[in-house]
Amino acid sequence: MASKIFVRPISIAFNAFRNYSSSSKLVDVSINDKTGIATVTMQRPPVNSLNYELLIELNGAFQDLGSKKIKGAILTSSLKTIFSAGLDILEMYKPKPERANAFWTSLQDTWITIFNTPYPTVAAINGHSPAGGCLLSLACEYRVMVNNYTIGLNETKLGIVAPFWFVASMKNTISNRESELALTSGRLYKTDEAFKVGLVDETAENKEDALAKAEKFFSRFDAVNPIARFLTKQELRGKIVKVGRKTFIYKIFRKFQICMMTRI
């Protein structure tokens, strides 16, 4: 793992990004050749629910960007009122064990990839963002959210338990106290409420405004060494990833989830 971590920021310095654009069915990736900013757009109507295929494409998109010389990446949605509705409920309904295992692995891998990118990331949250949608935005370094939508980890309201790396992601963003209040009650915050507790960093009038504010965030790093920046990010986030990725508890938890899912 360590070699991967140290090789990436060096390799990106030798790769050009000019005129890059790629669009698969579920995720569109474009890089602005003037600004060097990549935009990763989820496009799985009606609600960008996270199924295995979308997660695989998302993970691939963010991984590929690691080999390009980009200034930063924005995660957003092509849908008018939804960022992401979270995990696809159908993935959790009577799945085959192999599919369930692949699904949970893809979810965790995608979270780790986005949480760990060598380049800066912003979620431009242009619609509702419950549960797994909120998790994706928490994996980014900065969140700009359009007014009058909702965001949060509402799992308890659905009668399910957020995995501890969902909780850790929330605690990495807002206080332990606020996380406890939010998670135990399954609270969905409106944009302005989310801003007040620091769950989102900025609010926006509309998607264009959100994208503009997201782009501005990257200029904070204009005078910062990208390798020093990435190693500092790892210093801050590494322990959370280690807990999420490696522990015995995680493996047990996943077995428990799959077991629960296959029995419903």
Ligand X SMILES: CCCCCCCCCCC/C=C/C(=O)SCCNC(=O)CCNC(=O)[C@H](O)C(C)(C)COP(=O)(O)OP(=O)(O)OC[C@H]1O[C@@H](n2cnc3c(N)ncnc32)[C@H](O)[C@@H]1OP(=O)(O)O
- Could you confirm whether 153 is annotated as catalytic? no
Q: Minimum Å distance from CB 160 to ligand X?
A: 4
Helix, strand, coil percentages, rounded to 5, for the chain: 50, 15, 30
86 forms part of the interface with ligand X (CB under 6 A) = yes
Measured from the CB atom, the residue of 156 and 234 that comes closer to ligand X is 156
87 forms part of the interface with ligand X (CB under 6 A) = yes
49 forms part of the interface with ligand X (CB under 6 A) = yes
Residues 119/72, Cβ–Cβ less than 8 Å: yes
Work out which of 56, 73, 82, 145 binds ligand X, going by CB under 6 A. Answer: 82
Q: Minimum Å distance from CB 84 to ligand X?
A: 8
47 forms part of the interface with ligand X (CB under 6 A) = yes
Contacts of 159 (CB under 8 A, 6+ apart): none
Question: What x-and-dash track marks residues 159-188 binding ligand X by CB under 6 A?
Answer: -x-xx-------------------------
Sign, CA dihedral 41-44-49-53, equals negative
- Could you confirm whether 133 is annotated as catalytic? no
Q: Between β-strands 37-42 and 121-125, what pairing exists: parallel, antiparallel or unpaired?
A: unpaired
> Terminus-to-terminus CA distance in the chain, angstroms?
36
**HEC per residue, 29-51:** EEECCCCCEEEEEECCCCCCCEC
DSSP 86-118: -B-GGGGSS--HHHHHHHHHHHHHHHHHHHT-S
Work out which of 66, 72, 118, 132 binds ligand X, going by CB under 6 A. Answer: 132
252 forms part of the interface with ligand X (CB under 6 A) = no
CA atoms within 13 A on the CB side of 100: 18
- Could you confirm whether 244 is annotated as catalytic? no
How far is the C-alpha of 63 from the C-alpha of 66, rounded, in Å?
5
Structure tokens at 132: 């797994």
Measured from the CB atom, the residue of 29 and 138 that comes closer to ligand X is 138
Q: Minimum Å distance from CB 133 to ligand X?
A: 7
Catalytic residue among 57, 91, 141, 155: 155
- Torsion, Cα of 246, 119, 37, 77 (10° steps): 20
Q: Which stretch binds ligand X (CB under 6 A): 33-41, 62-70, 130-138, 191-199?
A: 130-138
Q: Which stretch binds ligand X (CB under 6 A): 15-23, 59-67, 139-147, 152-160?
A: 152-160
Active site residues: 87, 132, 154-155
- Residues of this chain that interact with ligand X (CB under 6 A) are 46-47, 49, 81-82, 85-90, 92, 128, 130-132, 154-155, 158, 160, 162-163, 257, 260-261, 264
